[in-house]
Amino acid sequence: MPRRIIHCFRAPLGGVMRHVGDLATAQHRMGLDVGLITASNLGGVGAAKLLRSLEPKCTLGIHRLPIDRLPTPRDIIAYRTIRNTCSALRPDILHGHGAKGGAFAALVARSLILPAFYTPHGGSLQFDRTSPLGLLSLSLEKLLRPLFAGLIFVSEWEKNAYDEKIGLGGKPFRIVHNGLWETDFRPVTPRRDAADLLFIGELRAVKGVDVMLRAMAIVAASRPVTAMIVGDGAQRRELETLCRSLGLDRHVAFVGARPAFSVWDRSRVMVVPSRFESMPYVVLEAAAASVPLIATRTGGIPEILPASQLVAPGDPAPLARAIQTVLGDIEAWQGQARAVAETVRDRFSATRMADSIAAFYAQAHDAAHR
């Protein structure tokens, strides 16, 4: 059984950070030594605070260095730094998360003759080979695949997409859904001044906030509708401009990044309008809070929610119809939200997630040694 594990990932925020943080916490409780390697050039104060909270659980330390999203010459310096760090810490395995984390884990593990594991978390799988960036990303993924001892996917969709776009290549793999702790299940009641709709996430095109705003404009033609947008990102100014052009600026509040648990009671309905997702934690977290949900039919979301709560991505019209349906009978949807919470409690456990990954580590690690 591997005892010393280092997780390598680029972005210390969002779903990947939640996944790695939960995994590190559970592995620490198992008595394992855990370390994290992540980017220092993004995440800001929120990421720094979250990483500090994980320090007592990371006996191999938390190591930060500049890591760019796309390939750049600075990757050579990052590789050398990560290799030197791992050489000094002497882990039993490296676990890479996301495309960049997976690449560094694969190359460093090859250099140090260690097993490497890879979880895409969507990553390059949002692309196809018809674009230059997609062709580059997927080609690099295929070149790196032989260096992994095993592949871990957070959803059935992710495994299928990886197989279709890159190919499993006979590598051992396991599907392990993201999971929640029992303490995450805290039903909330909306405040009297709650907004109708809530979005939580990065403000970038893939998250589909523009689609949600256009859907709101359709709904606003027949009834008043308000929203709270929680998050920051490169698209914030563009989305605020879109709000004004749609006549929604008095009805939509952009409040910046905040912890999800602090805003569940600030709305009546959670909307996840993403164009692409893998297995988003925000859907699990909203379900655990018994918040009514509308989400797009993309990635692993259909593995969490019933079809009645799903709409096609990228199209404001079906999303507008779903919003009108939910707001028109909110009590019925609150009852359905409580039923979804129980389903999520039964199927998506952080403890089971960590146990399954640890068992897969051991299985693939032993096979590699044989």
Does residue 151 sit in the same domain as residue 204?
Answer: no
- Has residue 349 got a pLDDT over 90? yes
Does residue 199 sit in the same domain as residue 85?
Answer: no
Does residue 268 sit in the same domain as residue 364?
Answer: no
Of 66-70, 191-195, 275-279, 364-368, where does mean pLDDT reach its minimum? 364-368
Residue type at position 254: F
Please tell me the predicted confidence (pLDDT) of residue 313.
97
Tell me the residue ranges of DSSP E strands in the chain.
4-9, 33-39, 62-65, 93-97, 116-119, 150-153, 173-175, 195-200, 227-230, 252-256, 267-272, 293-296, 310-311
Does residue 360 sit in the same domain as residue 290?
Answer: no
As a residue count, the chain comes to 370
Does residue 192 sit in the same domain as residue 95?
Answer: no
The Cα angle at residue 277 between residues 276 and 280, in degrees rounded to 5: 155
Give 218's pLDDT tier (boundaries 50, 70, 90).
very high
pLDDT of 133-153, one tens digit each? 889 899 999 999 999 999 999
Q: Residue 298 belongs to a domain with what CATH number? A: 3.40.50.2000
Give 369's pLDDT tier (boundaries 50, 70, 90).
low
CA distances, 225 to each of 92, 212, 218, 240, 341 (Å): 54, 12, 10, 17, 26
C-alpha–C-alpha distance, residues 105 and 126, integer Å: 21
Among residues of the chain, what percentage have pLDDT more than 90? Answer: 86
Does residue 187 sit in the same domain as residue 318?
Answer: yes
pLDDT of 75-109, one tens digit each? 999 999 999 999 999 999 999 999 999 999 999 99
pLDDT of 185-203, one tens digit each? 999 999 999 999 999 999 9
The helix/strand/coil state of 340 is helix
267-290 average pLDDT score: 95
- Has residue 31 got a pLDDT over 80? yes
Specify whether the CB–CB gap between 245 and 239 falls below 8 A.
no
C-alpha–C-alpha distance, residues 255 and 70, integer Å: 29
Specify whether the CB–CB gap between 176 and 354 falls below 8 A.
no
Please tell me the predicted confidence (pLDDT) of residue 44.
84
The Cα angle at residue 222 between residues 217 and 228, in degrees rounded to 5: 45
pTM: 0.92
Does residue 137 sit in the same domain as residue 278?
Answer: no
Does residue 144 sit in the same domain as residue 206?
Answer: no
More confident residue, 122 or 194: 194
C-alpha–C-alpha distance, residues 214 and 188, integer Å: 28
More confident residue, 266 or 45: 266
Give the number of domains in the chain. 2
Question: Within 10 Å of residue 342's Cβ, how many Cβ atoms?
Answer: 12
Residue type at position 312: A
- Has residue 264 got a pLDDT over 80? yes
- Domain residues for the domain of 73 are 4-179+349-369
Show the DSSP H helices in 55-204 as ranges: 74-89, 98-112, 132-144, 156-165
Residue 208 tokens, joined = 């589909």
C-alpha–C-alpha distance, residues 255 and 236, integer Å: 11
C-alpha–C-alpha distance, residues 51 and 273, integer Å: 28
- Has residue 368 got a pLDDT over 70? no
Does residue 144 sit in the same domain as residue 133?
Answer: yes
Please tell me the predicted confidence (pLDDT) of residue 281.
94
Specify whether the CB–CB gap between 337 and 287 falls below 8 A.
yes
- Has residue 127 got a pLDDT over 90? no
Please tell me the predicted confidence (pLDDT) of residue 259.
87
Question: Of 79, 109, 148, 78, whose CA–CA distance to 6 is shortest?
Answer: 109
C-alpha–C-alpha distance, residues 232 and 201, integer Å: 7
- Has residue 43 got a pLDDT over 90? no
19-24 average pLDDT score: 97
C-alpha–C-alpha distance, residues 117 and 339, integer Å: 35
Residue 136 tokens, joined = 């580059």
Does residue 167 sit in the same domain as residue 189?
Answer: no
319-332 average pLDDT score: 95
The helix/strand/coil state of 253 is strand
Does residue 353 sit in the same domain as residue 343?
Answer: no
Question: Of 257, 263, 261, 297, whose CA–CA distance to 277 is shortest?
Answer: 297
Does residue 117 sit in the same domain as residue 210?
Answer: no
Of 133-137, 153-157, 174-178, 206-210, where does mean pLDDT reach its minimum? 133-137
Residue 53 tokens, joined = 């909270």
Please tell me the predicted confidence (pLDDT) of residue 80.
97
Specify whether the CB–CB gap between 5 and 92 falls below 8 A.
yes
